[in-house]
Amino acid sequence: MTDITRTDVLIVGAGPIGLFAVFELGLFDMKCHLIDILDRPGGQCAELYPEKPIYDIPGWPSISAQGLVDRLLEQIAPFKPDFTFNRMVSSLEKLEDGSFRVITDENEVFEAKVVVIAAGGGSFQPKRPPIPGIELYEGKSVFYSVRRMEEFRGHDLIIVGGGDSALDWTLNLQPVAKSVTLVHRRPEFRAAPDSVNKMYAMQEMKELDFQVGQVTGLSGADGQLSSATIKGPSGDIEVPCTRMLPFFGLTMKLGPIAEWGLNLHENMIPVDTEKFQTSVPGIFAVGDINWYPGKLKLILSGFHEVALMAQAAKRIVSPGERIVFQYTTSSTSLQKKLGVAG
């Protein structure tokens, strides 16, 4: 029997809106657990544009995206939220008592009285490079991550990309694979200069091959690669290969949320604008992932949404309990929760 993690509110997505939901729910004494596919909190703010300034956060004429995430983490610290990173929520089921069971892609089991979907543009997943027919090889001879290095032993391997993942795996798999060819669009790399220097040194020793170019075609049968066409500065070349690892960054996909039985509107989840509840009572959707007439995908709109959502969530988590509207400026009970009471 797998251990079950129980919490009041399970939040899917640890971006700015998921984080601020912890604050609003915390003021009503609800305990939160957040699950995110990234390895750290912050969502798009942390992954896509951490250093970009945001100019429309009330009270902050300018704040970097990472700065906002850091301050949200500080703001919610009194409520001691739990985080599970590097996981995608794969299934969600309503139990007989009205609570929800959520299972991750690593089979961890969570049970919560309320589920809040704050998944933004969806989960970050490896980007599929634009190579015709690549999907026929995925999972068989084309992989987007390395789970076990042994799977590459004795293979002619092509690694595509110019970032740290591409360079690190080029260096790490070189001793294991039969041959390694690194393919990158240009001779400049985003990866750490040290890795790049090591790669060039190994190329010098003919321990690996580096080709400038773009992979434009694949050949093989039954999901098994036999060669790749690389379009380079001096024309097309054909490189034999039996495994390929493309590292083309991350993109956002709605993912398994689409299969949870919620109504959808163009890959967004329709909600009402009083509670921000989905078509399933007890499941709320806030931030960029929800839709309602007039919806604006702004962080500040998400902040408003979680405040109202928290009221509705409280009625589910503590039925019958009277909800008292209070201000953090004047309520000693709220200030106690925040750890600032005099």
Q: Which residues are annotated as a binding site for FAD?
A: 36, 44, 49, 89, 124, 288, 329
Which CB atom, from 35 or from 183, has the smaller least distance to another protein?
183
Q: Please choose, out of 16-24, 75-83, 102-110, 186-194, the segment that lies near another protein by the rule CB under 8 A.
A: 186-194
Shortest spacing between CB 185 and another protein, in angstroms: 6
Q: Please choose, out of 31-39, 88-96, 247-255, 278-286, the segment that lies near another protein by the rule CB under 8 A.
A: 247-255
Report the DSSP beta bridge partners of residue 57. Answer: 60
185 binds another protein (CB under 8 A): yes
Retrieve residue 108's tokens: 């961890």
Dihedral sign from CA coordinates of 48, 51, 56, 58: positive
**DSSP-based three-state secondary structure for 140:** coil
41 binds another protein (CB under 8 A): no
Number of residues located near another protein, criterion CB under 8 A: 20
Shortest spacing between CB 290 and another protein, in angstroms: 18
Q: Please choose, out of 3-11, 196-204, 248-256, 304-312, the segment that lies near another protein by the rule CB under 8 A.
A: 248-256
178 binds another protein (CB under 8 A): no
Report the DSSP beta bridge partners of residue 159. Answer: 182, 245
Which residues does 21 contact at the CB level (< 8 Å), separation at least 6? 9, 11, 32, 116, 118, 286, 306, 309, 310
* DSSP conformation letters of 170-227: HHHHTTTSSEEEEEESSS--SS-HHHHHHHHHHHHTTSSEEEESEEEEEEEETTEEEE
* DSSP conformation letters of 66-80: HHHHHHHHHHHGGG-
* DSSP conformation letters of 102-121: EEETT--EEEEEEEEE--TT
Q: Please choose, out of 87-95, 180-188, 264-272, 324-332, the segment that lies near another protein by the rule CB under 8 A.
A: 180-188
Which member of 33, 87, 155, 184 binds another protein (CB under 8 A)? 184
Residues 70/50, Cβ–Cβ less than 8 Å: no
Decide: residue 233, CB within 10 A, 0-12 exposed, 13-18 middle, 19+ buried: exposed
Site pattern 147..176 for another protein (x: CB under 8 A): --------------xxx-------------
Which member of 6, 48, 270, 311 binds another protein (CB under 8 A)? 48
Nearest Cα neighbor of 239 from 180, 311, 199, 303 is 180
120 binds another protein (CB under 8 A): no
Which CB atom, from 249 or from 270, has the smaller least distance to another protein?
249
Packing angle, helices 65-76 and 16-27, rounded to 10: 20
190 binds another protein (CB under 8 A): yes
The H-or-E segment that residue 94 falls in is strand 89-94
40 binds another protein (CB under 8 A): no
Distance CA 162, CA 172 (A): 15
Which CB atom, from 82 or from 164, has the smaller least distance to another protein?
164
Shortest spacing between CB 43 and another protein, in angstroms: 12
**Interactions with another protein, residue window 256-315 (CB under 8 A):** none
Show binding-site residues.
Answer: 36, 44, 49, 89, 124, 288, 329
49 binds another protein (CB under 8 A): yes
Residues 183/230, Cβ–Cβ less than 8 Å: yes
Retrieve residue 214's tokens: 């773009």
Which member of 15, 26, 43, 121 binds another protein (CB under 8 A)? 121
Which member of 219, 224, 251, 332 binds another protein (CB under 8 A)? 251
Shortest spacing between CB 191 and another protein, in angstroms: 10
User: Which parts of this chain interact with another protein (CB under 8 A)?
Assistant: 44, 48-49, 52, 121, 127, 130, 161-163, 184-186, 188, 190, 214, 248-249, 251-252
